[in-house]
Amino acid sequence: MTDVLWMFHRVRMGRFRLDTVHDFARRGYNLRVECRRCQRVMLANAVLLQIELGAARSKWPIERVQACLKCRGCGHRGALVTACRITCRSNFCPTSNT
């Protein structure tokens, strides 16, 4: 099930070219951040994250940002970032096209 959702998110990301945190904020997406070690999932508000990172780092490629993200659960540095609609209240977002 998770794999299907990942594919869904990736398709959407490809369409909108969400390459940076700045793009996520501008397009109105949250970041769905999954820890590469414990698979803990967090939703991060892109606008708040943009402020937290600062102007320079919010323009970093998302691959570079996700390598810096630290898991609040296990402390592992390194996560997987996908897109989630800002109105979505769920960790899993199959209805994000509404």
Interface of this chain with Zn ion, residues 24 to 53, rule: CB under 5 A:
35, 37-38, 40
Residue among 25, 33, 71, 88 that touches Zn ion (CB under 5 A): 71
- Exposure of 20 by Cβ count < 10 A (0-12 exposed, 13-18 middle, 19+ buried)? buried
With CB under 5 A, what is the number of residues at the site for Zn ion?
8
Residue among 74, 77, 87, 91 that touches Zn ion (CB under 5 A): 74
- CB nearer Zn ion, residue 28 or residue 73: 73
Measured torsion, CA atoms of residues 98, 22, 44, 64, in degrees rounded to the nearest 10: 120
CB of 31 to Zn ion, least distance (A): 16
Length of the chain in terms of residues written: 98
Distances (CA, A) of 58 to 51, 65, 90: 8, 8, 24
Footprint on this chain of Zn ion (rule: CB under 5 A): 35, 37-38, 40, 71, 73-74, 76
